[in-house]
Structure 1
Amino acid sequence: MTEEDKKHELYKKVERCYEILCKKWMGLIIHTLMTEPKRFSEIHVAIPDLSKRMLNERMKELEDCGLVLRNVITDRPVRTEYSLTRMGNELGASLRTVEMWAKKWL
């Protein structure tokens, strides 16, 4: 593989990352899950302007991307928790830099 091919491949991966993150609410959902697993309702409370319909859609997208894990807990009452996967945690760590920038500059 040539150096140019490697650059092109990297650009495609970076572009895919931005496609995921630039969808409205994605970054905030990841940010919300960085501390601990949360139930759907807890995520919704943490991001009050996010509708339940959109949250459901975004959670499915994050699962499909491999960033979020959906875990059904069969205790009574049955509940579902969402947590970041290893890949999601690594992305969350990168987003902490953005958080620090936002605190300083915005």
Structure 2
Amino acid sequence: MAIACNSFTCPVEATIRLIGGKYKAVILWHLMNSTLRYSELHRRMPKATDKMLAQQLRELEKDGLIHRKVYPVVPPRTEYSLTDFGKSLAPILEEMCNWGEQYLKDTYE
């Protein structure tokens, strides 16, 4: 998706635009080391509704962060994986995980 560079006031805004959806960062995190089917993703995010998960997956695919592969079998099988562009977010997601772990430890222990 082509976005005008001047439509953002800072680089953080551009990053949030791509990964700031309700489940986008979590989806990317789960796809970091494996290819997953829709049902596997949904199992890992049980609070996500089907509608919300499908919407977030469509947006990530449209933005070039994930790849969707549909196998022509009955019933249809769909797998999701990170693109190289999506993999470039790994350091950011790892730091978010580290920060979250420390936050949870400091807050709840």
Instruction: Identify whether the pair has TM-score above 0.5, normalized to the shorter chain.
Output: yes
Q: Kindly, what percent of the aligned residue pairs are identical?
A: 33
Residue number among 51, 54, 66 corresponding to 2:52 in the alignment: 54
Partner SS state of residue 81, structure 2: strand
Give per-residue Cα distances to partners, 1:17-42, cap 9 Å, x unaligned.
11222221111111111120101111
Aligned to 1:20: 18
* Distance in structure 2 (CA, Å) of the matches to 1:87 and 1:22: 16
The amino acid across from 1:105 in the alignment is Y
Q: Report the CA distance between 1:13 and its aligned residue.
A: 4.2
Q: Which runs of 5+ in 2 are unaligned?
A: 1-5, 105-109
> Is 1:87 paired with 2:85?
yes
In structure 2, the partner of 1:3 is none
Determine the structure 1 residue equivalent to 2:101: 103
Aligned residues: 99
CA distance in 2, matches of 1:105, 1:12: 26
**Structure 1: segments with no counterpart, 5+ residues:** 1-7
Which amino acid in 2 is paired with 1:31?
W
TM-score by length of 2: 0.79
What is the DSSP-based 3-state SS (H/G/I as helix, E as strand, rest coil) of the residue aligned with 1:81?
strand
Query: Counterparts of 2:56 and 2:16 in 1: how far apart (Å)?
Result: 15
- What RMSD, in angstroms, separates the aligned Cα atoms of the two structures? 2.1
Question: Hey, which of these two has a bigger chunk of helix by percent?
Answer: 1
Q: CA offset at residue 75 of structure 1?
A: 5.0
Where 1:48 maps in the other structure, the secondary structure is coil
The code of the aligned residue for 2:100 comes to A
Counterpart contact for 2:35–2:80, Cα < 8 Å: yes
